[in-house]
Amino acid sequence: MKKLFALIAAFLMPLTMFAQRQAGEFSLQPKIGLTFSDVSGIDNTAYKAGIKAGVEAEYMATKWLGVTLGLDYSERGCGFDKFTWGYAYLKGPLEDPGTGQIDDGMYDKELKFWQEDGDGHKVKLSYLSVPVMANFYIYKGLAVKAGVQVDFMLSAKYPRGYKEIFDGQPWDGKYTDIKDRCRKVDVTIPLGLSYEYKRFVLDARYEFGLLDIKDDEIVAKNLSTDGTSYFLEYYLLNGKLKRSSAFTLTLGYRLGL
């Protein structure tokens, strides 16, 4: 019987080895991990993997409530199961590309769409984020967390289709920089769980954006007056990139201050 109790104790001991938190305690936690993100508003999307890295400072308001302020770099966007291309042959520039009004007398209309395998095609987004979180420690090292996050866009790229449109060749792997057509600041709600063991913290979150990535007013101001470019930028991009969402998984190490 003593051996049985000893085995049970040996099994349970790792579960009790967590950092005891105290009110008034400060700590710093560098972390690194992965994002699995998607973007709404586009057909046939798939989750895209990316990198997330950053640091969080935590203050324990009580033994069970911690407040954190962080700074993170993250890669987001989406992949595609199938990617939809489109093209148009036009006689000349549109008179008012900002309004989206098309005059049939100005061009010979030939609009086509087709799909190809989405392998390699991605919407590539990157952000510098400032999350503010409340961590509720509900059982030993287990915490439930919720908060708000401000995201500052660093880059935005979309697969370019000019090669297919003009000569029908396979995708050349190039991307169009669309940052000037996107919202530069997003607001995200992160919800998650974390578990701490011997100062190592495994953190899982779901983050969903509240604002559309594409800004319609910015798009209208930046449209090209070239008819074909107008078609690509307005019809394939405008109104397509909606809200970003991501699952994130990071591993951090808590440093006492």
CA atoms within 13 A on the CB side of 234: 22
Q: What is the pLDDT of residues 187-225, one digit of tens each?
A: 999 999 999 999 999 999 999 999 988 765 544 444 444
Task: State the pLDDT at residue 149.
Answer: 97
Task: State the pLDDT at residue 216.
Answer: 55
Q: 102-106 — which CB contacts under 8 Å span 24+ positions?
A: none
Task: State the pLDDT at residue 85.
Answer: 62
Task: State the pLDDT at residue 117.
Answer: 75
- Check whether 238 has a pLDDT greater than 50: no
The reported pTM is: 0.74
Q: How far apart are CA 187 and CA 240, in angstroms?
A: 19
- Check whether 55 has a pLDDT greater than 80: yes
Q: What is the pLDDT of residues 112-171, one digit of tens each?
A: 555 667 777 888 999 999 999 999 999 888 999 999 999 999 999 887 654 444 445 566
Burial level of 59, CB count in 10 A (0-12/13-18/19+)?
Answer: middle
